[in-house]
Amino acid sequence: GAELGEELCVSEDMAAHVGASRTPQEVMEHYVSMYIHGNLGKACIPDTIPNRVTDHTCPSGGPLSPSLTTPLPPLDISVAEQQQLGYMPLRDDYEIEYDQDAETLISGLSVNYDDDDVEIELKRAHVDMYVRKLKERQRRKNIARDYNLVPAFLGKDKKDKEKAPKRKITKEEKELRLKLRPLYQFMSCKEFEDFFENMHKERILRAKIRELQRYRRNGITKMEESAEYEAARHKREKRKENKNIASSKRGKEEGKEGEFAAIENLPGFELLSDREKVLCSSLNLSPARYVTVKTIIIKDHLQKRQGIPSKSRLPSYLDKVLKKRILNFLTESGWISRDAS
C-alpha cells in the first residue's frame, strides 16, 4: 500500500511537469510500458532477482537457536503439585531455577552516554554471559520435559508404565541404563530408547551368532539338525548331573572322614567343631593356624568393645581373602558382633 501511494505521488509530479495533456495514470502506464517492460527494462532488469539476504540464524533446536529460550507449554499438574514444586505455569518458571543468581550479571548494568569502548564491551560480555545461562537453563527444562522427569518425581510415570507394558528389563539392563544416564543431555528420549533397544538386539544377535558358531564347530550345518543336537546335549547333561548327585550321596554315606583327610592328622584338629573343620578344609588352613587367628580376632573384638585400642598383629600367612572368610564365619557363628566384621 505504501509503495503504491509513492508511485501515485511520483506520477502526479510527472504529470504536472509534462502539462495538463496527460493524467497521472497515463504517465505511470507510459513509464511502465516503455522503461520497465520495454527494451531498456529487458536489458537492465533480470528475469529473476536473486535473494541476496543471508539467513544467519541457526535452525530450530540448534545450539544457538532462539527457540532454546522459548517457554514450553505449561505442565499438566494440579495446584498442590505446583506449590510442591514451586512451579509457575504461566511463565514455565520455578521459584528456584538453575543458576539462581544468573540475573546478578545484568541487574546492575546501565547504559551511559559517557561510556568508553572498554566499558561498552564489558557490558556486552555480561549480557552475553547472561544469555548463555538462560539458554542453559532452558536446555535443562527441555531435557526434563522430554524425559518426563517431573511426572517421575511426582510418581505419575508408574501409572503410564502400567498402562503400556513393555518387555521385562533385566537387572543388568537397569544397571546399564543408569550408567548411560549422562547421554540424556545429548539425545532425545526417543533416540535414547531406540539406542537402548538396539543394544538389546545386539546382545541377542551376538548370542545367536555364538550359538550358530558352536553348531558349526560340532559339524551341524542345518537348523533341522540343531534340534536333534540340543535334545541329545540336554540328555547328556542330565545324565552327568544325575551321576554327580549319585556320587555325592555315596560320599555322604561313606562318612565325613574322607572329607577331612588333609587336616585330620594335624595338631588341634580335635579342638574344632564340625563347621570349623569344614571351613579349615575349604580354606586349606591348618587347625593350629585357624585357632591362632580366631583367638587374635576375638581378643581384638573384646578390646574394642571395652574401648581399649587393639595392638595385635595378624600373622603374615593371613591374606585379605582368608581374613574375610574367617570374619564372616565368626560373625555368622555368633563369636563376634556384625558391626565388627
Please, which pLDDT band fits residue 307 given cuts at 50, 70 and 90? confident
323 C-beta neighbours (distance < 10 Å), count: 13
Instruction: Please tell me the distance from the alpha carbon of residue 96 to that of residue 126, in angstroms, as a whole number.
Output: 22
Of 43-57, 153-167, 251-265, which gets the smallest average pLDDT?
Answer: 251-265
Instruction: Please tell me the distance from the alpha carbon of residue 249 to that of residue 93, in angstroms, as a whole number.
Output: 71
Q: For the residues 29-52, what does the mean pLDDT come to? A: 78
Instruction: Please tell me the distance from the alpha carbon of residue 118 to that of residue 296, in angstroms, as a whole number.
Output: 75
For residue 290, what are the contacts with CB-CB under 8 A and spacing of at least 6?
A: 268, 272, 276, 279, 280, 283, 326
Burial class (CB in 10 A: 0-12, 13-18, 19+), 244: exposed
Element (H, E) at 86: none
Instruction: Please tell me the distance from the alpha carbon of residue 328 to that of residue 337, in angstroms, as a whole number.
Output: 10
Of 16-20, 68-72, 233-237, which gets the smallest average pLDDT?
Answer: 68-72
Of 43-57, 109-123, 141-155, which gets the smallest average pLDDT?
Answer: 43-57
Give the pLDDT of residue 31: 82
Residue 129 has which C-alpha cell? 554471559
pLDDT at 206 exceeding the cut of 90: yes
pTM for the whole structure: 0.42
Instruction: Please tell me the distance from the alpha carbon of residue 81 to that of residue 84, in angstroms, as a whole number.
Output: 5
For residue 276, what are the contacts with CB-CB under 8 A and spacing of at least 6?
A: 287, 290, 329
